[in-house]
Amino acid sequence: MQPSNDTRISEFLLLGFSEEPELQPLIFGLFLSMYLVTVFGNLLIILVVASDSHLHTPMYFFLANLSFVDICFTSTTIPKMLWNIQTQSKVITYAGCITQMYFFIIFSVLDIYLLSVMAYDRFVAICHPLHYTVIMNPRPCGLLLLVSWIMSVLHSFLQTSMVLRLSFCTEVEIPHFFCELNQMIQLACSDTFINNMVMYFAAMLLGLAPLAGVLYSYSKIVSSILRISSAEGKYKAFSTCASHLLVVSLFYCTGLGVYFSSAVTQSSHASAVASVMYTVVTPMLNPFIYSLRNRDIKGALMRFSEMAAIKGPAVLGLKNLP
- Write out pLDDT tens, residues 206-252: 878 888 899 999 999 989 888 888 877 777 777 778 888 888 888 88
Q: Cα–chain-centroid distance for residue 40?
A: 15
Select from 90, 61, 64, 49 the least CA-distant residue to 179: 90
Q: Per DSSP, what are the bridge partners of residue 92? A: 12
Q: Would you state the pLDDT for residue 296?
A: 75
Collapsed DSSP state (helix, strand, coil) of residue 228: coil
Identify the band that residue 266 occupies on the pLDDT scale cut at 50, 70 and 90: low
User: With 0-12 CB in 10 A as exposed, 13-18 as middle and 19+ as buried, what is 210?
Assistant: buried
Q: 174, 91 in Cβ contact below 8 A?
A: no
Which tens digits make up the pLDDT trace of 8-65?
578 899 988 877 778 889 999 999 999 999 999 999 999 999 988 888 899 999 999 9
Most confident of 117-126, 285-294, 308-317: 117-126
CB burial of residue 295 (10 Å; 0-12, 13-18, 19+)? exposed
Instruction: Order the strands of the 11-14 sheet from edge to edge.
Output: 91-93, 11-14, 173-174
Q: Which residues pair with 91 in a beta bridge?
A: 13
Cα–Cα distance, 308 to 303 (Å, whole number): 9
183 CB contacts (<8 Å, ≥6 apart)?
Answer: 174, 175, 176, 268
- What local confidence, expressed as pLDDT, does residue 268 receive? 61
CATH 1.20.1070.10 is the classification of domain 11-320: yes
Cα R_g (the chain), whole angstroms:
22
Contact 104, 77 (CB under 8 A): yes
Contact 122, 224 (CB under 8 A): no
Amino acid at 206: L
Gap between the Cα atoms of 103 and 105, Å rounded: 5
From CA 119, how far away is CA 141, in angstroms rounded? 13
Q: How, if at all, do strands 173-174 and 91-93 pair?
A: unpaired
Domain positions in the chain: 11-320
